[in-house]
Structure 1
């Protein structure tokens, strides 16, 4: 029996905080979301689902199976964020492994995907299970090189044509592997979350608001939260606190005296523009490699208009010296160096933007020589990421509960957010905030209908206000992969 409408405070409007506010606000709880920036979802860069963890050879099969399930949930929850294009996995000739070594895991994931569909046909969101992955021999790639570039690719072969025309056949191992690993658009999620939360009467959205103190309310067993907005200080009382402050999560832990063990890693992805291919739709292409070496993994993520987001897991591109730090004995908050904080809170220098973006272009053009004429497209996408525990390779984490009526969000990948919400919902059931039949249910999200022109306009506005090209707020024309 629900006796009263609980007041929920959420600190941090990134993917975790915004999703929790949207979910619990839809259920009618009284939710207040505090975000220090002017808009939502402005944290570290992300660009794709992890529908099986195929980008990470080093993680366990168990983590991959979890990522597959979470990706299906995320895609169903946020369909307006998805860019329906596949990902091509490539092993360079310099890599110590072989493409064949990836196949057992892909078979396992295909089996798991079929099982999810058997449980609920609506889980068929990654295409047909028999097309979850496909292999392309050298002969296949040579054949596709002779095809015309399709304007709106629909089949796997059509998506592979631009890769076939641009990849250096002598620098990569065969077969190449195409996986139904779709893209995600950060700016569309920011826009859609804002539009939805603004429409919910049960949600109060405080942007440009900084929480500076949290104290337990002895009478109610809840929390008193003090914050500054519009140069005025306010204090409000809440029944439950969700800490979704991202890489600043430790600051809230310190206020509460909560136990902790975590790391923070600074991350950056580089935006390039490839003249002459504005009308070509590429899949994402991932070149495997050993992290931290000159041949570290490279990621080539397409956007409309000839823009590409680039990662290079080398020390002069994406990985930074001293960019991974742990919490100390005296504070839960890992301390990044001032140069990283300056990037996050102020801006990048033009010199570093040019240097690292050009290094990323050079890294990818090892395998796609024509890409060498790409140029800097904008400042990098960047931010810092919280990693719970002490394992920097961890890819699956959701939430912990170190204090009564307190949840600490610990997602490492955006697709973990629904499992995080389910775990918090279980606490809400125990506290009689929600009925016990709500766990895992998402049906109400089918009622969220965003007007596409309005969503696109808002997403482009978010991108432009953050000094990024409006093209990064859009997705490819194709809506389905056959």
Structure 2
């Protein structure tokens, strides 16, 4: 691929899921890309574990956001085909919760119909299984019957996926029906591996790790970027377009570029556990509950080798009492409390890691009593999530544009990343014929790697970042 001197240069600041996906997409189109990331690796931000293909974890968001998440998720899976853990999700409403299962059923029909239309438009969109199998309902009697059965290895049907839940969950605590939906697991380490392998193979993409932007000035129709390298030495580069993909630190670059934007930032953590007694294939399980209360949602995400990631939407587990902060009239960058900033920059004290992991285990064992013998298995997955505007429930967002060839990627959920990158190309008219090909044909480099290559690279990343290899391994079908 030959780059001409007159080809525009695009700088992407931030190598999380949004910035890295933008670099992959623009790079695959043959554009001249510089990706700057201040940490030692790409895609290492807030925990990603679940492909929100329909937004069924969020009762509070409107249907249109659910459909947006479905469409974006399907696009992203097609770009990163080796990142899914193909197993269903169970959604249960405890007796203690004010919600009723019937309230989420009309939405499931709407999302299923949206999925059907997408598959009718393009058969390649059928990445979530058969349309008619998108969701299924289970009454208590069915679960009690399944509890008497033995699970195949690996499971061959939805019923077989449900068996461990039927055997171990306290069925007396739940309202019925329980919903099974084809929202799959999403491996953040195989995602990072896919990005690494693709960008290494694209000669028109320059990846600069341990590189921190310190100033951005627009003059003579170009952006002059000043940055520090890994040795702390100052350098400058000039580019034509500036893409702010700094995640929770997006406001810092907004301030440099003098483009103010209102936003929230929320610090969150998920906890890595090992359940020694588990020798079954679990689905993901969601026990709904009011966000921020002691009965907040409990989420059990399965991985290989008896490893489980836990969320508990209480302020003593996943959320933090002072972890939601807002921008101000004088700065677009919300300021996290110093102790949370230190967690991001320096890591957690071991005592805090273990305390919150134990609370997460206790929270889950309220509904799955035998889970109380699960153990701490390593560093929490954590980070801060940006939310544009002032609506803390917003989940489907992508990109906003300003004057002077400046854009910010405002991805709340990782599955929005490709949609955002495509908007950069469309609005800035970077490639007039972009979008005429299928996602697969448009990204030949991304498609060139095998599942085994991606998994092996992901395992290397797990080891390098201090996480169990189980988080990188393929789990499910």
TM-score by length of 1: 0.95
Deviations 1:94-123 (A, max 9, x none): 111211221111111111111111111111
Deviation at 1:296, TM superposition (A): 0.7
Please show how residues 101-116 of structure 1 align to structure 2 within 5 Å. Answer: 101-116=103-118
Aligned residue in 2 for 1:425: 425
Q: Which runs of 5+ in 2 are unaligned?
A: none
Q: Deviations over 1:350-370 (max 9, x none)?
A: 211111111111111111100
Structure 1's 340 and 233: CA in aligned 2 closer, same or farther, altered over 3 A?
same
Match in the other structure for 1:386: 386
Indicate the larger mover: 436-445 or 151-160.
436-445
Which whole-Å CA distance do the structure 2 matches of 1:289 and 1:3 have between them? 56
Classify 1:155/1:145 alpha carbon distance in 2 versus 1 (closer, same or farther; 3 Å): same
Task: Look up the SS of the partner of 2:190 in the other structure.
Answer: helix
Distance in 2 (CA, whole Å) between partners of 1:365 and 1:276 is 14
82, 89, 93: which one aligns with 2:84? 82
| Mean Cα deviation higher: 396-405 or 435-444 | 435-444
Q: Secondary structure at the match of 2:273?
A: strand
Which digits, 9 at most, give the CA deviation of each residue in 1:378-406, with x for residues without a partner? Answer: 11100001110001111111110123201
Rounded to whole Å, the distance in 2 between the matches of 1:11 and 1:457 is: 27
Who is 1:264 aligned against?
265
Query: 1:445 maps to which residue?
Result: 443
State the secondary structure of the residue aligned to 1:91.
strand
Structure 1 position 451, deviation (Å): 3.4
How many Å apart are 1:438 and its aligned residue?
3.3
**Per-residue CA distance 1:251-299 (angstroms, 9 max, x = gap):** 101111102101110010011110121x421110000011111111110
Q: What is the SS of the residue equivalent to 2:110?
A: helix
Contact 2:310 2:361 in 1 (8 A): yes
Matches within 5 A, 1:181-196: 181-196=183-198
In the TM superposition, residue 440 of structure 1 has moved relative to its aligned partner by 8.1
Asked whether 1:434 is paired with 2:431, we answer yes
Across the aligned residues of Structure 1 and Structure 2, the Cα RMSD in angstroms comes to 1.4
Native 8 Å contact 2:88 2:283 kept in 1:
yes
Q: Distance in 1 between matches of 2:467 and 2:207?
A: 24
Instruction: Give the Cα–Cα distance (whole angstroms) in 1 for the partners of residues 241 and 469 of structure 2.
Output: 38
Aligned residues: 471
Question: 2:214 & 2:15 partners in 1: Cα distance?
Answer: 16
Alignment of 1:42-441 (within 5 A): 42-218=44-220, 221-231=221-231, 232-277=233-278, 279-429=279-429, 433-438=430-435, 441=438
Shift of residue 458, structure 1, vs aligned partner: 1.7
Query: Mean alpha-carbon deviation: is it higher for 127-136 or for 149-158?
Result: 149-158
Q: 2:36 maps to which residue?
A: 34
Q: Structure 1: give runs of 5+ residues left out of the alignment.
A: none
- 2:174 is paired with a residue whose SS is coil
Farther-moved stretch of structure 1 (146-155 vs 453-462): 453-462
TM-score (norm 2): 0.96
Contact persistence 1:422–1:440 (CA under 8 A): no
Shift in Å, 1:28: 0.6
8 Å contact kept, 1:144–1:164: yes
Distance in 2 of aligned mates of 1:152 and 1:343: 38
Does the 8 Å contact 2:291/2:314 carry over to 1? Answer: yes
Contact 1:74 1:417 in 2 (8 A): yes
Per-residue CA deviation, residues 120-144 of structure 1 (Å, 9 max, x unaligned), is 1111111111100001111111111
Q: Does the Cα contact within 8 Å between 2:455 and 2:474 map onto a contact in 1?
A: no
**Deviation per CA, 1:153-176, whole angstroms, max 9, x where unpaired?**
121011111111111111111211
Q: 1:439 to 1:255 in 2, by over 3 A?
A: farther
How far does residue 437 in structure 1 lie from its aligned partner after superposition? 4.6
